Chain A
Amino acid sequence: MKITSQQAVTESRRIVLWPLLIGLAVLLFIVALHMGPAHISIAGAMGDAWHDRLSVDRLIFADVRLPRALLAALIGATLGLSGAALQGLLRNPLAEPGIIGVSNCAALGAVIVFYFGLARFGWFMLPAGGLAGAFLSVVCIFLLAGKQRNVVSLVLAGIAVNAIAGALIALTLNFAPNPYAMQEIVFWLLGSVSNRSMQDVWMLLPFLAVGWAMIFRSGPLLDALILGEETAHSLGFNIARQRWWIVLGIAASVGAAVSVSGNIGFVGLVVPHVLRPLVGYEPRRLLGVSAVGGAILLMLADITVQLLSQGGEMKVGVVTALVGGPFFLYLILRTRSYW
């Protein structure tokens, strides 16, 4: 009797979770479309777009708000997803693209491409720069802390990689030919999705599609890793090869995301951690919900930014860091037992 009722609870939780998350995401997306200094009718704007009528409402909707909301959702999803994948791969709840330095390295790659005019060599150059930076950092992290499930070595490696990448970003911006470059370090270190256009969305999409596919494809491996690497290997998984799939997937998606938004921290830490108990700690099921959860969190943070700063100058990374920083401390305290 007891067993069946427990099962029923779990099952009902499974059934409720997805519609709840999707519903929330859709709701926030609609709210995000309504955020902004101009009072426009979204329905009217969509009608104008449908009938191909030119109007200011339509332009504000299509050129300003839609890309911003889409980018918040897509980048949030990427960060949530890659946080979940990294944590599953390293079996370490503190793994997160921002904390272990992947985002900063991606930002460094993007900064080099962006401020030195390399972006003119092709639409893909900017996200590719982010990808290259992210990839290098993940490889570094694996070399420094990949072997053991050790929280301390991971976080310490992250501190080092972050510090180096941050310094190199500052250095690069110093040497950038554009006089505005130095002021923009805040954007790269804290991240923002404001003042972007659909061009950025189109540029991002192929990289995200490939990266997400590679991460999701590795779902079974992440589940097998519940049993440890040796056992996963004995279950027919080629760990050495599939690990590269995940690493490349994270590098492609996070690298591209950061090249558009800068380093938005803590989304990949908070989201998988909050959702993990709701999916029975299963790494593969965590992937999908973390993607939706990440989209929710970043849209929420961006809406908060727009409510708090009417000028739009506050960076969304400030909000995610204010939420995520204390959460990170709490996690450190809680996981201290297995250091």
Chain B
Amino acid sequence: MNGQLFQKMLARFLLCGCLANMASALAQQAVVDNVQGGKPQRIVSLGLCTDQLLLMMVDHTRIAAITKDSKDPFISYMAAQTADVENHNTTAEDIIRHQPDLVVSTSFGSPDTIRILKRLGYRVEVIPLPTKVDDIYPLLRQFGAWLGENEKAEAMVSSVRQRIAATEATLANVPAETAVMYSPNGLVIGGDTLEDDILHRAGYRNLAAEAGIKFFQAISLETLMLWKPEKILLENGVNNRDSLAHAYIYHPAIRDLVGAGNTVEMPPHLRDCFGPMTADFIAYLATKHTPALASTGGALP
């Protein structure tokens, strides 16, 4: 038994070593071949959010591969502009195939894939997720710097900043409505999250944050009802309602509580990632306010 185990481990070790040598040789060659003027030319993105930023900031000939998710218009802001880009299946093996000179990922990307790629000598840059709107700007600049596209990043930052400010200006005289962001399985989104900041900027009070919830937490339907929000913002992250998890967000009690017009489905292609779509998301939520006359009180006394 022990002998067998040892043999297996040895075999694996040798295999790893060979692969690593081969791959790092390839990687180094790729870097030498492709870096023109310091700009990476064969970029791979590991997840939906970096896919979209990449599609926005670089010429598509420089993109080696992105995920399939970014082709799905339900969740991808950039779906229409992915026809000329290849896909990978997120495994390290498939990514090596593309011989990337830069791999970008959010901190949400598969840690195994990132670890293997780093060990094989590839350049992997990981961008953290923002927890407030103002975090987005330095992250965009950082991302642009990795790509060698500082000007584009700067232009994007100022555009996003301006559009958000414009939306906020339209809300100056609109009283804040109370709202809860409600996700499958009864999760609500609390304070210290990008979503919380977005809610505020779109003119809402986040009742989950006010109840002391940080990040995400499952609450019972009864608790949600006791909060008596004026708006319930539903998160349906996938284009399919057929699960018990989704039965939470489509429970009749929610419509009965706030009235049919006061549940808002948050479009995943605006909500799931950060960047220019964040400005669109805030603008979208801002349009969902009940006209001033009714917004003084909720559906219930």
Interface residues in chain A, defined as those with a beta carbon under 8 Å from any beta carbon in chain B: 36-38, 54-56, 59-60, 63-65, 114-117, 119, 176-181, 183-184, 187, 195, 197-199, 311-313
In the complex where A60-B225, A64-B221 touch, is A181 in contact with B243 (Cβ < 8 A)? yes
- A38 to B223, alpha carbons, bound, how many Å? 6
- Starting from the known contacts A56-B257, A59-B256, A180-B238, 10 additional A-B residue pairs (CB-CB under 8 Å) come to A36-B222, A54-B301, A56-B228, A56-B300, A60-B222, A180-B244, A181-B242, A184-B245, A197-B251, A312-B220
| Closest Cβ neighbor of A118 among chain B residues | B242
> Is B218 on the interface with A (CB-CB < 8 A)?
yes
| Closest Cβ neighbor of A311 among chain B residues | B218
Say yes or no: B222 contacts A64, CB within 8 Å.
Answer: yes
In the complex where A195-B221, A195-B247 touch, is A178 in contact with B253 (Cβ < 8 A)? no
In the complex where A37-B222, A37-B223, A38-B225 touch, is A63 in contact with B253 (Cβ < 8 A)? yes
- A312 to B228, alpha carbons, bound, how many Å? 20
| Of A38, A115, A177, A199, the contact of B252 (CB 8 Å cutoff) | A199
In the assembled complex, which residues on chain B have CB atoms less than 8 Å from the CB atom of A55? 300-301
| Closest Cβ neighbor of A188 among chain B residues | B244
In the assembled complex, which residues on chain B have CB atoms less than 8 Å from the CB atom of A54? 299-301
Chain A proximity of B230: nearest CB distance (Å): 13
In the assembled complex, which residues on chain A have CB atoms less than 8 Å from the CB atom of B243? 115, 176, 178, 180-181, 184
Say yes or no: A313 contacts B218, CB within 8 Å.
Answer: yes
What are 8 A-B pairs with beta-carbon distances under 8 A?
A: A54-B301, A55-B300, A59-B257, A176-B243, A177-B240, A178-B245, A180-B185, A195-B248
- A54 to B258, alpha carbons, bound, how many Å? 11
In the complex where A59-B253, A195-B251 touch, is A179 in contact with B226 (Cβ < 8 A)? no
Which label, helix, strand, loop or mixed, suits the secondary structure of the B interface?
helix
| Closest Cβ neighbor of B218 among chain A residues | A311
| Of A59, A117, A313, the contact of B225 (CB 8 Å cutoff) | A59
> Is B184 on the interface with A (CB-CB < 8 A)?
yes
- A55 to B257, alpha carbons, bound, how many Å? 9
Chain A proximity of B90: nearest CB distance (Å): 15
Chain A proximity of B25: nearest CB distance (Å): 38
Chain A proximity of B190: nearest CB distance (Å): 15
- Listed residue (A36, A64, A116) with the most chain B CB atoms within 10 angstroms of its CB: A64
Which residues of chain B from 244 to 282 have a CB within 8 Å of any chain A CB? 244-248, 251-253, 256-257
In the assembled complex, which residues on chain B have CB atoms less than 8 Å from the CB atom of A114? 242
Chain A proximity of B113: nearest CB distance (Å): 19
Chain B proximity of A185: nearest CB distance (Å): 11
Say yes or no: A178 contacts B238, CB within 8 Å.
Answer: yes
| Of B220, B226, B241, B244, the contact of A56 (CB 8 Å cutoff) | B226
> Is B186 on the interface with A (CB-CB < 8 A)?
yes
Say yes or no: B246 contacts A178, CB within 8 Å.
Answer: yes
- A64 to B244, alpha carbons, bound, how many Å? 15
In the assembled complex, which residues on chain B have CB atoms less than 8 Å from the CB atom of A116? 242
Chain B proximity of A322: nearest CB distance (Å): 23
Chain A proximity of B110: nearest CB distance (Å): 16
Chain B proximity of A204: nearest CB distance (Å): 15
Say yes or no: A64 contacts B218, CB within 8 Å.
Answer: no
Chain B proximity of A104: nearest CB distance (Å): 17
- A127 to B241, alpha carbons, bound, how many Å? 18
Chain A proximity of B249: nearest CB distance (Å): 11
In the assembled complex, which residues on chain A have CB atoms less than 8 Å from the CB atom of B225? 38, 56, 59-60, 64
Say yes or no: A179 contacts B247, CB within 8 Å.
Answer: no
Chain B proximity of A99: nearest CB distance (Å): 25
In the complex where A56-B225, A63-B256 touch, is A37 in contact with B220 (Cβ < 8 A)? yes
Per-residue A-contact encoding for B283-301, CB less than 8 Å = 1, 0 else:
0000000000000000111
- A115 to B242, alpha carbons, bound, how many Å? 5
In the complex where A56-B226, A114-B242, A116-B242 touch, is A63 in contact with B218 (Cβ < 8 A)? no
- A117 to B301, alpha carbons, bound, how many Å? 37
- A63 to B226, alpha carbons, bound, how many Å? 13
| Closest Cβ neighbor of B221 among chain A residues | A64
In the assembled complex, which residues on chain B have CB atoms less than 8 Å from the CB atom of A64? 221-222, 225, 253
Chain B proximity of A30: nearest CB distance (Å): 17
In the assembled complex, which residues on chain B have CB atoms less than 8 Å from the CB atom of A187? 244
| Of B222, B223, B226, B242, the contact of A117 (CB 8 Å cutoff) | B242
- Listed residue (B223, B241, B244, B248) with the most chain A CB atoms within 10 angstroms of its CB: B244
In the assembled complex, which residues on chain A have CB atoms less than 8 Å from the CB atom of B252? 63, 197-199
Per-residue A-contact encoding for B137-168, CB less than 8 Å = 1, 0 else:
00000000000000000000000000000000
In the complex where A59-B257, A115-B243, A197-B251 touch, is A179 in contact with B221 (Cβ < 8 A)? no
Question: What are the 7 tightest A-B residue pairs by CB atom distance, in nearest-first order?
Answer: A63-B253, A180-B245, A180-B243, A38-B222, A178-B243, A178-B240, A197-B252
In the assembled complex, which residues on chain B have CB atoms less than 8 Å from the CB atom of A38? 222-223, 225-226
Chain B proximity of A62: nearest CB distance (Å): 8
- A36 to B301, alpha carbons, bound, how many Å? 22
Chain B proximity of A176: nearest CB distance (Å): 7
In the complex where A63-B252, A119-B242 touch, is A180 in contact with B184 (Cβ < 8 A)? yes
- A177 to B184, alpha carbons, bound, how many Å? 15
In the complex where A119-B242, A178-B246 touch, is A311 in contact with B300 (Cβ < 8 A)? no
In the assembled complex, which residues on chain A have CB atoms less than 8 Å from the CB atom of B228? 56
| Of A59, A63, A178, the contact of B242 (CB 8 Å cutoff) | A178
- A54 to B241, alpha carbons, bound, how many Å? 29
Chain A proximity of B16: nearest CB distance (Å): 30
Chain A proximity of B214: nearest CB distance (Å): 16
| Of B240, B241, B245, B299, the contact of A183 (CB 8 Å cutoff) | B245
In the assembled complex, which residues on chain B have CB atoms less than 8 Å from the CB atom of A313? 218
In the assembled complex, which residues on chain A have CB atoms less than 8 Å from the CB atom of B253? 59-60, 63-64, 197
In the complex where A114-B242, A180-B245, A311-B218 touch, is A195 in contact with B256 (Cβ < 8 A)? no
Chain A proximity of B262: nearest CB distance (Å): 14
| Closest Cβ neighbor of B222 among chain A residues | A38
